[in-house]
Each structure stands twice: as C-alpha cells, then as structure tokens.
Structure 1
Amino acid sequence: MSGTRHVAVVEGRQVLYRRFGEGPAVFVLHGSPQSSRAVIAIAEACAARGLCAIAPDTPGAGRSDPLPGERPASADYARHLAGLADVLGLKRVGLYGFHTGAATACAFAGLYPDRTAAVALEGLPAWTEAERTDFTANYLPVFKPNWDGSHMAWLWARMEEQVVFFPWSSPTPQARMGYPVSPKKGVHANCMDLLDAGDAYRAVYQAAFDFRLTDWLPRLAAPALIATTEFDVLREHLDRPEMAGRGRAFAGLPEIHAACAEHLAAHPGVTAPPAPALSDRGFAVVGDEALAWRASTGAGRPILRLHAAGGMSAPIQDGEMVVTLDLPGHGDSAEGWVSPITDLQDWIDSVAAAMDALGLGDVAAEGAGLGGHIARALEARGRAHGGRSIGPGYGSPPAAGFGSVSLTPEWDGAHLVRAWRIARWERLYAPWHTRLPANARSPFETLNPSEIHRRAVGLLKAHDRWLAAAALET
C-alpha cells in the first residue's frame, strides 16, 4: 500500500505530508534527523488497520519549512501540529511518534487532551541531565557547505557512525553498539533527508533533547502505549524512574508496528476528509507518478518554467507570473519515479500530462538546457506559445575514460563528494569535464558554496537519471 504526497500551508509555512489509507485520522511523526520517509512502514501498518495515516515532515526536516526562533520546544512543534490538524479539518486524532516524534506526540496529547484519541509512543525519551548537556554540546554541529565539498564526506561518516556509537559523537568502547552498519541505500536516504533540512536539522533535534518527560507524562489523559523494541538505543529509558513502569518492549519492528496500529485502531479519532488542494503548489499526478509544481498567484498569463538536466525548480520571485515543474525524476519529483525516460519525447509527454492535470492551457514556456528543448517542443505541439531557452545546460556526459560520474550510492559515500565536484566544475568550464583553458567560462558563475550545494543536491536527487537528461542538452 503506497501513500500519496501532499502539501499544506500552516501559518505561512509549507508542510509536506504523506497520506496512507482512509478512515479515522492518525498523525505519524518521524524521528531525527529524518523525514516522513522513515515512517512509511508504520504508516502502512496503520492504513492496513483501517486508519488514515498522515505523516508530515516535521518543520525544519524534509521538505517542511522550519519554525521561527532559535530554539523551539516540543510544545512549539505540537502547537504547529495542531495548526496542521486545523488546516486538514481534523478535530480529534490519534498519534504515533518515534523518538523526536514521540516527544512531539506526547506534548500534543498534554496540550490538547480533547483532540487526542490515543497515542503510541515508540522510544519516548527520558534523558538524564548529563545526557542532555552532552548532546547539546556535541551532538549537533553546524551543517554548512564548504568550498571543497568536505561537508559531504562528513555527512556520510556521520550517518554511518550513528549506528555504531550512541551518541555518535562519542566513539568510545562504552558508546559502542551492536548494530550492523546500515546498507548504503539506508545511509544515502538519511543523508538526503539531512541535505533537505540543512542546518535546520539542529533545531528539531534540540527540541527532543530539551524534552523533559516529567513535564508531560503526568498530563497524558488519552489511552497511551509507550514502547520500544528490544534493540532500540532508548530501550533502557523504559527502566528509568520517570517512566514509572508504563513502558513495554517488543521483539522487533513487525511486532511493535502491529501493536501500535492495533492500539490506535481501538481508540479512533475522526474520519479524515479528503486532502485539501492548494492553488499554488502540490503534486500533479501523471499515471502512477507525480510531478512537483509551484505557481505564483494572481491574474494574467503564466509562464511555464522548466529547469536544466540534474536541476530542480528555483524559487519564484516576487511579481512573476510563473508555474514551475520539477522534471520527471528530478527534485521533488524524483521520489517514486520509475518510468523509463529514454528520449526527448518521453520528457515532453510527461510535462504535457502534468499540464493537463493542472489545467494549464494558455501559457508561455521557457527553460534552461533540457527545459528549453521541452519548452520549444511544447510550442511546436501547440501546447504553449513563445517556447524559448533562457540559458544553456551544462553539456553532455564525459566520454569513456574520463572516470566515474555515477551518482548511484556507494558504500563510502564517494557519490556525495562527486556531486559537489561536478556542481563546482560546471561553473568553471563548459563542458564541465573538459577542464582546459579554451573551455573556461568567462566570466564564470559565482562560486558561492550555498549555490553550488543546491546544485549538488539537485544532482543527487536525479542521480543517474541526470546522465540521460544531460545527454539531451547538447
């Protein structure tokens, strides 16, 4: 059972959420430094029990905008969640939370007892003051792009270490755990979550470290299941005095997911209405897949703007009448895109189908690189007018013998650094892989690390689909 992705706006801030099944509503809240991607299994378990599981990216994680302020607390995240419930038309809900999400769910239940049908709290933290002090000082370093891409190497190592030591920042015999190192696919997924969050990941984590169970557990009035698996790093928290013997340990994930889903189904909230649509952003369904889009609001003929190979849509500037699409397999359209894209006609067909889904008729079309080719083709088909290129792409892939340019995840994270190097060389040479004086860009684009970083993230989201797309840009 697969979920669908949607976008909501709460107090002016974007929230991306996933929705699974139909029935009484349950919020499914992920841990840190992850996104709603990490709770798909439990959301599917809830949907299989006749619930509508709604899994938002926590503000500042995944594709949701961060909360204001330097150090929001779990109560602030709970209040934001109540705002999301209002936007979605949910008066009374069940809640599941994992680690950070468990702290938020517990705070929500304490603040809004009349809106809480039941809670299932997996890995609810009960920190000691020594742990809280250590984690605040050492666990959350600033994540900032460096000119040489070294932050990418740090990121991969950080995500590997978190299953070897707890805390990851204390590589000592006492902190050594007994888990296997995560497979490269899992490490990569966690890296991509933090790349989406950027430095905002620290605020979400910090709220969980600031959480004090003694402030909230006495306020729990709804039916509550407090649990961990036997192998959870927070398993020992069940035995701490603050927990007052209320917790339960399960053998593994299938057992705890089944128990949480059963508990929430036994104490249902209100039935979730259909997901509301927004007029300025969302996902256009194309067959079994979806293209992320965003639009400015206002009267007038919009411009359909399409990005280059390996890219993703840039923010819309004030005053523009623009609709942007993340191309198939790129940006926020990358997740779940499995259809083969073998030639230019495939790209054009997918964009045209998205236009149909959005009801886009009378538009101008423009784009950079591959996006420009698609824009001109849409005009030739009579689907748009004024199709034009607004900038070049970055050229075709290098010839054989240059070396690996694959962005498929590798065991050592080399693909993360490779994406950064490609993004930087693209700004200095045309094509980027022919690094000769005659091919120097003059003047070259800015080497601002934040801009290079954004391009590198775009390349990583497209991964090897970028190669097929880049081959069409010449």
Structure 2
Amino acid sequence: MITRHFLTIPASGARPKRVVHYRRCGSGPILLMVHQSPRSSAEYEELIRKWSRSFTCIAPDSPGFGQSDPLPGVPEVGDFADTVVAFLDQLGVKRCAAYGFHSGGIILAHLLKRHPDRLSALAIGGYAIWTAEEMRIFGEQYIPEFHPQPYGEHLAWLWNRILEQSWFFPWFDPRDETRLSVAHADPERLNAIVMEMLDAGNAYRFGYRAVLLAPGEVPPPDADTAPVLLSAYRGDPLGAHLDRIDQMPKNWRAEKVESPADHQDLSFAFLSEHAENSPQKLAEDDSAGFVAVGEGLIHWRGTRGAENMLLHAPGAELAEPSAGELAIDVPGHGLSSDFEDYGAAIEAARIALGASNLLWPAIPPGDPDRLYPDLTPDRFGSYLQRAWSVARASAIFVPWYAADESHAIAVDQSMLTPAAIALRARALLRAGKSAAKWHQEIISHRQ
C-alpha cells in the first residue's frame, strides 16, 4: 500500500521552514523518485507499486507542486536540487539510488553535480539538452502567468493547454513539424494533470523555469560520478536530445527504446544493479498526515488524541483546526480516499487518531439532487466551468442554484475574490460524486 506523509524542513539561512509531502511504499533499498513538472508524486503511483517489490520507493512533491510548500523568490535548478538534499537529510537518508523523468531527471542531475556523494546511481527518462534558441523560445512562451480569473476564464486556457501538449511540442507551436506520436484526448488523464496545475497555481512556472533555463548537465569524459543511465522511448519529445550528447563519463550511458514499458524495465534493471541499502526508519510530521483505513487513507491535521474531530460540509475540505482540535478530509473529499461505507471509515479514523467525539456539519440547505452537479471530466473540459460557476454562485445565493431575491445572501467581497472561488471550485472538483453521498450520510446521522 502506498502511504502518504508530511515532513517539515526547518528554516535555514534565508529560507523559511517549509512542508514537504511525500509518498512511500515497499521495502528494501531506498529509491528516490522525483517527478516532472507540472505534476506531483502522484504520477508515479503505478510505477511505485511495480518497483516497491524491490525498493522502498520515496517520492516527494517538489516545492510548489502537489502538497509541498513553494520556495521563496524565483528559484534556480540548483535550489530545487538542494531542497531534495534537505529533504533526504530530514528524512534520515544519507545515500540512495534515484530516478527522475524529464524535469525530475534534470533536477537530479544537478543534485549529482552539487552533492556527488548522495546518489549511488541515477536513472533518467527523457533528458533535455537545450540549445540557446530553445531556451529563449521556451522562456518566453512556455510558462505564461497562471492566475484565477473572476469568471473562470483561466480554466478554458488550462484545459486546452494540457490537452494540446500531447499533440505538439512545444504546446504553443501547432505545426505538422511539431506533432507528437503520443497524442490523445483522454479526459481522465487530462484531469489528473489539470488538478495538479490547480494545486500548483502560478508556482508551476518556477519549477518549469528552473529546468528550461538549466544547462544540460553532462560531465566531461574524465569525470568521476555515480553511474547514470539516460533513456528515452519512441514518441518522447526529448528523445532526440540524446543525440545531442557528444561525450559522457565512462559510467554514463544513453539508450533509446521502443516504449514507456521498455524504458521502465531498463531503468529498473539498472537501478537494481547499483542500489545500496539504506536506513528504513524515516521521519514524518506528527501534526498532520494520513491514517490507513482498510485499503484507503484519511487525511488529517491537528492534534492526535483531541477530544473533538471536525467533519466538514459536502464539497468542502478540512478547515485549519484550532489548538487541541483535530480535523479530517471526509471520505472522497480533499486528500482522503473514497470508501464504500463513509460512516465506518470515519469511525475507524476517529479510533485510530484517538478522538473522543465527532463534530458533524449542518445539513446544507437545498435539494441534494441539484446541489451537486455532475463534474465528471468530459472531452471539452466543460466540467471545470461548471465547478467554477457553482463556487461563485454559492457566495451570492443559498442554495446556489436558487438565483432569486428570496435566496440572496449578503455579499461578502472576500468570498468573491478569484482566489477564494478557486479554493471552493477545487474542493468541488476533488469531491465530485462523493459530495452527494456525504450529504446523505449527514442526513442519516441527523435522523
């Protein structure tokens, strides 16, 4: 089972303390896995399950992505590399093997240069060797500002930008010459990336910027480094970049393979050959995390053993608990897994977290069949606009769908800022169909 954890990195110099979210699974030598932009460690879940039979897979969310705090200012690729080392230090890992895909691999290559004693081996999928002209073009157009707009206009851009990045590379240059062979229009795959972009917000630019402006880190032939494997599969837009490598150290090698599965198998064999045993007692925070309930996880925050455990409303997420309190994302909401039996899952979480009482929310006013529209991802991304419209209207009418004078509520401008609407819309999108189910659970409890 993949477990999830938070770890606070203490302040250091000008850098404030920050929280890192990471996934863990398996046993054996530790394998560090760094994801690409604008994703999170969630992109590795399938691979983690596969490789965890031989490794203890540790996959952090990079700063500003997933559930990890961003870095201050405008960080460079070296800053991202150093934060990985700070994470390993706090985790209690001195040396391990590592895997990274695309920008994750670039970060790890710079980590290897800056901290050569920390990696026993490094496997990279799709390694970028940018030309000066590519740096100029990508720096200007690849990472535009991304901020919520009052009526959700940014969501139309986001959907189509994510959609077309599997059609063309770069995504903003639609020509026959830039077409990709891996084009698709799978709403579920697109939604996964869209949701991660919504988590990152404008911070997505800094992770991209750092690697787009990073020099291709290939040491000279006489360099003494840990073993490195660079590989790319057919259709990878960075596959041609391997041909740009003129010389490399004797224990580096680059290979092109046919498919993503071939790339993963090659990487696994390489990492297995060079992995080293690592300590298995790994650090995590004790004021936030995830508790296992059956085959799922419940996200919690606050004080274990608190008298009261707070339960939020349908389509919402956990509120920041006060001192001595405990809050969870109820099943199917926020960062919690979905469950068949919500009541049983909540009770199991209460017992595991040591709370005495459950504080149930009020029953939301309105018709449950109308309160929670269908937010299933569709081919054209219209579900995103539905969520935004509901989130905006909910600050003007109660219930949101009753747009008339008798259901109008006092306007609170703070609830109509794009940032506030964005938080509510994201909560609705995360909950999806679970909101209606949780509504019925509250009704059953109140009865």
What does residue 160 of structure 1 align with? 163
Query: Deviation of residue 243 (structure 1)?
Result: 5.9
| 1:387-411 deviation digits (Å, cap 9, x = unpaired) | xxxxxx3633345xx9x92011111
| 1:320-344 deviation digits (Å, cap 9, x = unpaired) | 433221111100114xx2x224xxx
What does residue 13 of structure 2 align with? none
| 1:411-469 deviation digits (Å, cap 9, x = unpaired) | 11111111111111111111111111111113456311111110100011111111222
What does residue 330 of structure 1 align with? 333
What does residue 362 of structure 2 align with? 369
Q: Distance in 2 between matches of 1:139 and 1:117?
A: 33
What does residue 230 of structure 1 align with? 234
1:104 aligns to 2:97 (yes or no): no
- 5+ residue gaps in structure 1? 371-392
What does residue 396 of structure 1 align with? 367
Counterpart among 230, 241, 255 of residue 262 in structure 2: 255
Query: Deviation of residue 296 (structure 1)?
Result: 5.8
What does residue 434 of structure 1 align with? 402
Between 145-154 and 273-282, the greater mean CA deviation after superposition: 273-282
1:21-32 alignment runs, 5 A limit: 21-32=26-37
1:417-428 alignment runs, 5 A limit: 417-428=385-396
Question: TM-score under structure 2 normalisation?
Answer: 0.90
The AA in structure 2 aligned to 1:278 is D
Whether the aligned pair in 1 keeps the contact of 2:395 and 2:411 (CA below 8 Å) is no
Q: Distance in 1 between matches of 2:217 and 2:94?
A: 27
Q: Distance in 2 between matches of 1:30 and 1:241?
A: 23
1:448 aligns to 2:417 (yes or no): yes
- 5+ residue gaps in structure 2? 11-16
What does residue 383 of structure 1 align with? none
Whether the aligned pair in 1 keeps the contact of 2:306 and 2:354 (CA below 8 Å) is no
Q: Secondary structure at the match of 1:192?
A: helix
Query: Deviation of residue 215 (structure 1)?
Result: 6.8
Q: Distance in 2 between matches of 1:187 and 1:43?
A: 21
Counterpart among 46, 69, 77 of residue 73 in structure 2: 69
1:285 aligns to 2:292 (yes or no): yes
Q: Secondary structure at the match of 2:120?
A: strand
Query: Deviation of residue 266 (structure 1)?
Result: 0.8
What does residue 350 of structure 2 align with? 355
Q: Distance in 1 between matches of 2:393 and 2:420?
A: 13
Query: Deviation of residue 222 (structure 1)?
Result: 0.3
Question: TM-score under structure 1 normalisation?
Answer: 0.85
Q: What RMSD over aligned residues (CA atoms) do the two structures have, in Å?
A: 2.3
Query: Deviation of residue 242 (structure 1)?
Result: 5.0
What does residue 14 of structure 2 align with? none
Whether the aligned pair in 2 keeps the contact of 1:73 and 1:207 (CA below 8 Å) is yes
Q: Distance in 2 between matches of 1:288 and 1:169?
A: 41
1:309-324 alignment runs, 5 A limit: 309-316=314-321, 320-324=323-327
Q: Distance in 2 between matches of 1:293 and 1:104?
A: 31
Give the direction of change, closer, same or farther, for the CA distance of 1:356–1:208 in structure 2 (3 Å limit).
Answer: same
Q: Secondary structure at the match of 2:416?
A: coil
What does residue 207 of structure 1 align with? 210
Q: Distance in 2 between matches of 1:458 and 1:220?
A: 49
Query: Could you tell me the percent identity over the aligned residues?
Result: 33
Give the direction of change, closer, same or farther, for the CA distance of 1:394–1:95 in structure 2 (3 Å limit).
Answer: farther
